[in-house]
Structure 1
Amino acid sequence: MKIVAKPIDVIATFSDNKKPIPYKFKFFQDSGDKIEVYVDKIVTVEESKLAGIDTLIYTCESKVLDESRLYQLKYVIGQYRWELYKI
């Protein structure tokens, strides 16, 4: 997987005192095309501290452009921000 660290729009579900669960997200390719991806499977969720910032790293699997891909979504807890971290 290659680090891309692009900001994304995410629809996620939340439960009381639990981690957010991403449902789908949108991002723009370098060509400017908007891609919408449904999260088919969450493989792992890791709590991480990157440069002193608390994050959750989700390793997921989905169909992206008709191809099954593994990727990572990063949720920055203190900033309530999502990134397509690796793909």
Structure 2
Amino acid sequence: MKVINRSIDVITWTKDDGSIYPFKFRITEDSDERHTYNIDKILTIDEDKILGKPIYKYTCLIQMSNIQKICEIRYHKDTMKWSLFKV
């Protein structure tokens, strides 16, 4: 997987216990072109800390150019922001 680490917009659903699940995300390229990807399946959800700050790491399957790819998106709990970390 290639490291991208770009900010993304994410649509999620939340269970009654507070668990967050990403449903689809949108990324804006350098050319201001936007791409939206549905998350076909969440493979893993891990809690971690980066520089002492808590994050959730989601390893997911997405369709990109008609090819199924694995990506890692991250939710930064302290800033409540999402990023596409790897594809």
TM-score normalised by length of structure 1: 0.92
Q: Which range is displaced more, 44-53 or 26-35?
A: 26-35
2:77 maps to 77
Deviation at 1:66, TM superposition (A): 1.2
Residue 14 (1) aligns with residue 14 (2): yes
1:64 maps to 64
Tell me which amino acid in the other structure corresponds to 1:18. Answer: G
Q: CA RMSD in A?
A: 1.2
Taking the TM superposition and a 5 Å limit, the aligned residue runs for 1:20-35 are 20-35=20-35
Secondary structure of 1:79 counterpart: coil
What's the % identity of the aligned pairs? 30
Deviation at 1:60, TM superposition (A): 0.2
Tell me which amino acid in the other structure corresponds to 2:71. Answer: Y
Deviation at 1:16, TM superposition (A): 2.5
More strand by share: 2
Equivalent-residue separation in structure 2 for 1:14 and 1:49 (angstroms): 22
Equivalent-residue separation in structure 2 for 1:29 and 1:68 (angstroms): 20
Tell me which amino acid in the other structure corresponds to 1:85. Answer: F
Segments of 5+ residues of structure 2 without an aligned counterpart are: none
Residue 40 (1) aligns with residue 15 (2): no
Tell me which amino acid in the other structure corresponds to 1:9. Answer: D
TM-score normalised by length of structure 2: 0.92
Tell me the number of residue pairs that the alignment of Structure 1 and Structure 2 aligns: 87
Equivalent-residue separation in structure 2 for 1:4 and 1:63 (angstroms): 17
Deviation at 1:86, TM superposition (A): 0.7
Secondary structure of 2:78 counterpart: helix
